[in-house]
């Protein structure tokens, strides 16, 4: 149902009518505060009101399931998206600003969005259209088509850069090229912000409308203000069963991630007031409330990067790169987010399921991604209890069995499995865990990183293409400023560092609740094989926890060999283009099945840079 508000009712009672409209098109900028295009649209409406000519501000959101499905968006993200549009509509209504909600024709595809926007412009007598730029390839094409379509009506279009504090193209190398290494990008970013302080200025919200809409416009607005529920959308119902939350579970997820700017601002204030000082110490511990939990709000633009940097700077006495270490490190993580956006804008092929470094396209994977790949489908328990019950093993003959076991949290490596089950249950994953599970999939199982990227997209409430792709390619060694392919996480060592007492594993891997010793919990089957009197082979068989899919030491050698062969094949056999070192003995190049073919990622941790 359309919202009712005192402001909208009062607007209808005005004696003066607007003869034209300025339209703001919302996409991934679902907020009224600190919204560049929205503020400029509001100012344009005021400037066009002169004498007998009166102009109102109206807003538009296009529900486009075909676009969401094209990106493989998780149902939990679709639901979060819809809920935030509802909150936004109510917030706008308080200022007498209507939000028109139009459904794109799913059968016509994403290109039909231009027809939708053109119709709204015609019905509301729009003079100017404003929107904030999105940098993905299809979104760029869509916006070009929209601009061309509304130009036929005489509508002036103003795109604005708003996703980043520093827009892509403003921070470049001395040669005028896009940075592909994080540290010099970060340093240049800090210099640019210091020299151009206006980029951090938080924008005012839009002014309220002062005139009623014409009867024709009012009728159109009233008939296009209803927002469909997420489960009724094709992008939700067409998703495999594995990621469709039950109604009970959906209610649980909605309590974890409340919608709206107020909820986002409350989280930001709580984080900067009480937890940011210790962020650099606690951010890697999955059982500690050390992160901000703001990534879902950043992904949909319910919160802006400027607001986050400004709040962190305020908590650090106005400083960004000096002072309290927690605030400095958190701002650095926000700069990682900007770095990946600049990379995506400068190298759009990363949007097309291609490695940033082409020499790694030839890696022979044990299980490969393809455009028609079908992700595993299995029911997620409807319980909201923690830990959830384990999923049964995939039946024999299941495609991509290694990948499927990884998605289920049945790899035999407790911390990896706990993280994957955590993702299924909550729609989110701690950044350190994202790094661990991605490294395990690519380097231990030698499964194509694009399968992991797709799985994260299909399950994360905070999925962001630039950051997710950047994070996965960082872990795989195929991306810009990536971890070298021969640097491989040992999952047991990671557990020792970041879940030393096994608390997180026991919380999420129900079969191992009884193992109280953190050391034994890092490799229970290994402990059983060595004759542990606590973790015996019989107890392990009875509890049902799976044996490890691979031996890490052997898998590591196989991965290094496979990546090295791909590099040699790409450069004509000249050797390792990343390190210049011989890291694998020739006798081991095809060890452990290498010949067969063995990311807020919101934010990733920077590696040391060469000086």
360 to each of 159, 332, 350, 444, 555, how far by Cα in Å?
A: 36, 28, 13, 17, 18
pLDDT tens string 72-124? 888 899 999 999 999 999 999 999 999 999 999 888 888 899 999 999 999 99
- Yes or no: say if 567 and 359 are a contact pair by the CB < 8 Å rule: yes
pLDDT tens string 373-418? 888 876 655 566 666 778 888 888 888 999 999 999 999 999 999 9
158 is in an annotated binding site: no
261 is in an annotated binding site: no
463 is in an annotated binding site: yes
Phi, psi of 256, deg, nearest 5: -70, -35
Q: Are residues 366 and 305 in the same domain?
A: no
Q: Is the pLDDT of residue 230 over 90?
A: no
Could you say which of 56, 104, 431, 459 is catalytic? 431
Residue 315's pLDDT band (boundaries 50, 70, 90)?
A: very high
Lowest-confidence region among 365-374, 423-432, 583-592: 583-592
598 is in an annotated binding site: no
| SS3 assignment for 144-175 | HHHHHHHHCCCCEEEEECCCCCCCCCCCECCC
Could you say which of 68, 81, 189, 336 is catalytic? 336
Q: Residue 242: inside a domain, yes or no? A: yes
Q: Are residues 322 and 410 in the same domain?
A: no
Could you say which of 472, 474, 508, 525 is catalytic? 472
Q: Is the pLDDT of residue 13 over 70?
A: no
335 is in an annotated binding site: yes
Phi, psi of 298, deg, nearest 5: -70, -40
pLDDT tens string 216-229? 999 999 999 998 87
561 to each of 142, 289, 570, how far by Cα in Å?
A: 42, 39, 14
Q: Residue 449: inside a domain, yes or no? A: yes
Length of the chain: 611
Residue 271's pLDDT band (boundaries 50, 70, 90)?
A: very high
Both tokens assigned to 144: 């070009």
Unique residue bearing structure tokens 């511990």: 285
Peptide bond into 387 cis (omega under 30): yes
**Residue 363 maps to which CATH number?**
1.10.579.10
Q: Are residues 91 and 138 in the same domain?
A: yes
Q: Are residues 287 and 364 in the same domain?
A: no
347 is in an annotated binding site: no
292 is in an annotated binding site: yes
Q: Are residues 293 and 358 in the same domain?
A: no
* CA dihedral of residues 507, 513, 519, 520 (deg, nearest 10): -150
CB-based contacts of 510, cutoff 8 Å, min separation 6: 387, 388, 389, 390
Q: Residue 301: inside a domain, yes or no? A: yes
337 is in an annotated binding site: yes
Q: Are residues 326 and 423 in the same domain?
A: no
Per-residue confidence (pLDDT) for residue 107, from 0 to 100: 83
Both tokens assigned to 40: 């400029």
User: How crowded is the C-beta side of 345, counted as CA atoms within 13 Å?
Assistant: 22
Q: Residue 429: inside a domain, yes or no? A: yes
Q: Are residues 340 and 414 in the same domain?
A: no
d(CA 262, CA 268): 10
The fraction of the chain above a pLDDT of 90, given in percent, is 73
Note if 365 is an active site residue. Answer: yes
Per-residue confidence (pLDDT) for residue 75, from 0 to 100: 87
Note if 431 is an active site residue. Answer: yes
* H-type alpha helices, 358-448: 401-408, 414-426, 431-439
Q: Are residues 341 and 481 in the same domain?
A: no
Query: Mean of the pLDDT values across residues 52-78?
Result: 90
128 sits in which H/E element:
strand 126-132
| pTM for the structure as a whole | 0.89
Tell me, rounded to whole angstroms, the distance of Cα 589 from its chain centroid. Answer: 36
Q: Is the pLDDT of residue 483 over 70?
A: yes
Query: Mean of the pLDDT values across residues 247-253?
Result: 78
339 is in an annotated binding site: yes
Per-residue confidence (pLDDT) for residue 442, from 0 to 100: 98
462 is in an annotated binding site: yes
Unique residue bearing structure tokens 């990884």: 406
| Domain, as residue range, for 545 | 353-371+400-596
Note if 336 is an active site residue. Answer: yes
Residue that finishes a domain, picked among 144, 162, 180:
162
Q: Are residues 454 and 591 in the same domain?
A: yes
135 is in an annotated binding site: no
- Yes or no: say if 363 and 473 are a contact pair by the CB < 8 Å rule: no
Q: Residue 217: inside a domain, yes or no? A: no
Q: Are residues 338 and 447 in the same domain?
A: no
Q: What is the number of domains present in the chain?
A: 3
Q: Are residues 326 and 358 in the same domain?
A: no
Phi, psi of 320, deg, nearest 5: -115, -35
Q: Are residues 445 and 404 in the same domain?
A: yes
295 burial via Cβ count (<10 Å: 0-12, 13-18, 19+): buried
204 is in an annotated binding site: no
For the chain, the maximum distance between any two Cα atoms, rounded to a whole number of angstroms, is: 90
279 is in an annotated binding site: yes
DSSP-assigned letter for residue 391? P
Positive or negative, the CA dihedral 273, 283, 507, 467 is positive
**Residue 60 maps to which CATH number?**
3.40.50.620
Per-residue confidence (pLDDT) for residue 376, from 0 to 100: 82
Query: Mean of the pLDDT values across residues 531-547?
Result: 96
Note if 25 is an active site residue. Answer: no
Could you say which of 81, 365, 406, 455 is catalytic? 365
Q: Which residues share a beta bridge with 53?
A: 50
CB-based contacts of 580, cutoff 8 Å, min separation 6: none
Per-residue confidence (pLDDT) for residue 493, from 0 to 100: 95
């Amino acid at each position: 149902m359309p919202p009712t508000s005192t402001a909208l009712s009062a607007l209808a009672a005005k004696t003066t009518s607007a003869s034209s409209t300025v339209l703001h098109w919302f996409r991934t900028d679902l907020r009224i505060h600190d919204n560049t295009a929205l503020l400029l649209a509001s100012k344009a409406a005021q400037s066009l009101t002169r004498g007998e000519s009166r102009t109102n501000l109206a807003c538009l959101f296009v529900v486009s399931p075909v676009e969401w499905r094209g990106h493989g968006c998780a149902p939990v993200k679709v639901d979060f998206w819809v809920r935030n549009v509802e909150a936004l509509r109510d917030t706008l209504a308080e200022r007498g600003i209507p939000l028109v909600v139009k459904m794109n024709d799913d059968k016509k595809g994403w290109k039909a969005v231009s027809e939708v926007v053109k119709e709204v412009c015609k019905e509301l007598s729009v003079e100017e259209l404003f929107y904030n730029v999105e940098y993905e390839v299809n979104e760029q094409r869509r916006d070009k088509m929209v601009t061309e379509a509304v130009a036929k009506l005489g509508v002036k279009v103003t795109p604005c850069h708003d996703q980043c504090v520093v827009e892509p193209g403003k921070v470049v190398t001395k040669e005028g090229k896009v940075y592909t290494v994080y540290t010099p990008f970060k340093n240049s970013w800090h210099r640019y912000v210091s020299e151009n302080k206006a980029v951090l200025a938080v924008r005012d919200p839009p002014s309220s409308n002062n005139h009623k809409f014409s009867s024709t416009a009012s009728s159109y607005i009233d008939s296009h203000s209803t927002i469909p529920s997420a489960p009724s959308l094709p992008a939700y119902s067409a998703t495999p069963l594995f990621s469709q939350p039950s109604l009970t579970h959906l209610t649980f997820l909605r309590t974890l991630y409340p919608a709206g700017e107020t909820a986002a601002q409350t989280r930001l204030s709580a984080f900067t007031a009480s937890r940011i000082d210790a962020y650099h110490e606690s951010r890697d511990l999955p059982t500690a409330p050390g992160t901000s939990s703001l990534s879902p709000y950043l992904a949909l633009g319910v919160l802006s990067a400027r607001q986050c940097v400004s709040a962190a700077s305020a908590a650090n006495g106005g400083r960004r790169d000096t002072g309290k270490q927690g605030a400095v490190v958190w701002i650095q993580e926000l700069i990682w987010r900007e770095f990946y956006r600049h990379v995506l804008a400068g190298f759009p092929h990363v949007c097309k399921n291609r490695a940033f470094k082409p020499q790694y396209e030839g890696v022979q994977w044990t299980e490969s991604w393809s455009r028609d790949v079908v992700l595993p489908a299995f029911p997620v328990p409807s319980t909201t209890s923690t830990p959830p019950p384990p999923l049964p093993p995939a039946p024999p003959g299941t495609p991509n069995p290694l990948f499927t076991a990884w998605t289920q949290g049945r790899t035999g490596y407790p911390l990896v499995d706990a993280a994957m089950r955590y993702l299924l249950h909550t729609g989110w994953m701690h950044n350190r865990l994202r790094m661990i599970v991605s490294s395990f999939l690519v380097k231990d199982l030698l499964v194509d990183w694009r399968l992991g990227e797709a799985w994260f997209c299909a399950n994360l409430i905070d999925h962001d293409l630039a950051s997710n792709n950047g994070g996965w390619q960082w872990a795989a060694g195929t991306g810009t400023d990536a971890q070298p392919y021969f640097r491989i996480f040992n999952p047991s060592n990671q557990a020792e560092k970041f879940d030393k007492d096994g608390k997180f594993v026991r919380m999420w891997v129900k079969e191992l609740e009884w193992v109280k010793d953190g050391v034994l919990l890092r490799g229970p089957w290994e402990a059983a094989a060595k004759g542990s009197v606590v973790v015996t082979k019989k107890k392990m068989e009875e509890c049902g926890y799976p044996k490890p899919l691979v031996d890490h030491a052997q898998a590591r050698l196989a991965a290094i060999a496979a990546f090295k062969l791909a590099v040699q094949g790409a450069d004509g056999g000249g050797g390792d283009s990343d390190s210049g070192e011989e890291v694998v003995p020739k006798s081991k190049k095809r060890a452990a099945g290498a010949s067969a073919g063995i990311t807020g990622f919101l934010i990733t941790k920077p590696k040391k840079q060469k000086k």
